[in-house]
Amino acid sequence: MATLYRKTLNWMDERFGAGSVEEFLRHKTVPVTRHILWYYLGGMTLFLFIIQVLTGILLLLYYRPTPNDAFESVQFVMTQVRFGWLIRSVHSWSANLMIFTAFLHMFSVYFLKAYRKPRELTWISGMLLFFIVLGFGFSGYLLPWNTLAFFATKVGTEMAGSVPGIGKWLLVFLRGGQEVTGATLTRFFGFHIAVLPGLATLLLAIHLFLVQKLGMSVPPSVERAVAEGRTSLRNMPFFPNFLLRDMIGWYAALGVLGGLAAIFPWELGTKADAFAAAPAGIRPEWYFLFTFQTLKYLPARILFLEGEFAGILGFSVGAVVWVMVPFLDRRIGFGRLTRVFTGLGVFVIGYIIVLSALALR
């Protein structure tokens, strides 16, 4: 087996220098600190993304993106296609877990200050990937064309319609008209399986390249301790030591996904009816709840602005500040923590949790 591996590698090395990849992997290390658990979240998010791609391709074999057929095709997958229920449930559960691990990954990077020089672009590419992941969730939610998805998309696109400056244009662009119709479904399908995967692949390539090029960041506290000679920086080879640990996590994730799919299959609900009254308590997916709840609390007018417009403006400014943190958090340097930005992170987490909990009441 080892000989076959060596022969294959040599064959590829002679043709396009594959040996350099092996050489790179042999030297790649991961810092061993008490924060090492957080380093697995990027790999976990990537693993779940791969699951999404694979199950998504399988769903495409049966899915039909029209208002007349979408619901029925998903129903067919769930009831008639062998293991269709598993593929669809894993796709839905994995999507939510991926967004959850993406949140965790983002906040772990934020609090470990891994965005600081020279990893500003890694942070920005990661944040753009995060927005794309949210876009995947938003566009994919509508595709089964059920009642909840239909009305949640109405609410969601209305929120998008309040984006400062481009809101009205964005609403029509997303919906393919003034209302959520079959045109919206076709567009969301296009975004979900072509536009977003294309962008995600490009950004993922950039993000992974930067991670490999720059290596794993060492948290400022550890950096300071090493500089002061209180400890020495320990490293672990990425291949195979760290990768094998990654794989343990991926297997565990597979087990969790299988359990969720078998015990709590993702429900399909009832087919969307544009003329039906919106069900009571309609709300978007959990990752948009905090924005939804915030907009509910805002008064009709704030100073000279419409309340919803002001809210979306606030979130837009907040998102820009969050993305630009590596350039704003200028005092972060060698082993120095900037409490303001740590406090901001704690506030954002607290805000998201509290507002989401209030929306679920």
Partner 1 sequence: MKKSIIFVALLFLSLRAAVAAPPKDTCIACHAALGGDLAKPASQFEVDVHHQAGLRCADCHGGDPSDDSMNAMSHAKGFRGAPKKNQIPEFCARCHADATYMHRFNPQMRVDQLSEYLTSVHGKRLKQGDTRVAACVDCHGVHNILAVSDTRAPVYPTNVASTCARCHADAAHMKGFNIPTDQFALYEKSVHAQTLAGGDTSAPTCSTCHGNHGATPPGVGSVANVCGTCHVMNEQLFDKSPHQAAFAKMGLPGCVQCHSNHEIVRPTDAWVGTGPQSACTTCHTPGDKGYGAAQAMLADLTHLDSSLTRAAEVLNVAERAGMEVSGPKVELAGAQEDLVKARVDVHTFDAAAVRKLTDSGVEIAAKSYQAGVAALRERDYRRKGLGLALIAIVLAISGLYLKIRQMESGDSIGHRGDVERKAREV
Residues within the interface to partner 1 (CB under 8 A): 26-27, 29, 32, 75, 78-79, 85-86, 232-237, 240-241, 244-245, 247-248, 251-252, 254-255, 258-259, 262-265, 267-268, 270
- H or E segment to which residue 55 belongs: helix 40-60
Considering beta carbons, is residue 237 or 318 the nearer one to partner 1?
A: 237
Distance of closest approach, residue 190 Cβ to partner 1, in angstroms: 27
* In the complex, minimum distance from the CB of residue 241 to partner 1, in angstroms, rounded to a whole number: 5
Integer CA distances (angstroms), 170 to 81, 105, 153, in order: 37, 29, 14
Long-range contacts formed by 294-303: CB under 8 A, 24+ apart:
294/355, 295/159, 295/162, 296/359
What would the two tokens of residue 67 be?
A: 């208002």
Identity (one letter) of the amino acid at 156?
G
Cα→Cα distances 141→132, 156, 283, Å: 14, 11, 12
Which ranges of 264-338 does DSSP label H, i.e. alpha helix? 289-297, 307-323, 325-328
Shortest Cβ distance from residue 252 to partner 1 (Å)? 7
Of 58, 95, 54, the closest CA to residue 73 belongs to: 58
Which of residues 179 and 267 has its CB atom nearest to partner 1 in the complex?
Answer: 267
**Is the separation of the CB atoms in 271 and 265 below 8 Å?**
no
Closer residue to partner 1, CB minimum distance, 255 or 350: 255
- Is the link from the previous residue into 240 a cis peptide, with omega within 30 of 0? yes
Enter the DSSP assignment of 65. Answer: -
Q: How far is the CB of 196 from partner 1 (least distance, A)?
A: 27
**CB-nearer residue toward partner 1: 176 or 215:** 215
CB of 258 to partner 1, least distance (A): 5
Residue 114 vs residues 16, 126, 227: alpha-carbon distances, Å: 33, 12, 17
> CB of residue 123 vs partner 1: minimum separation in angstroms?
24
Closer by beta carbon to partner 1, 190 or else 240? 240
Q: Minimum distance between the CB of residue 178 and partner 1, rounded to whole angstroms?
A: 31
Composition of the chain by helix, strand, coil, percent to 5: 70, 5, 25
Give the nearer residue to partner 1 in terms of CB position, either 241 or 356.
Answer: 241
262 vs 317 by CB, closer to partner 1: 262
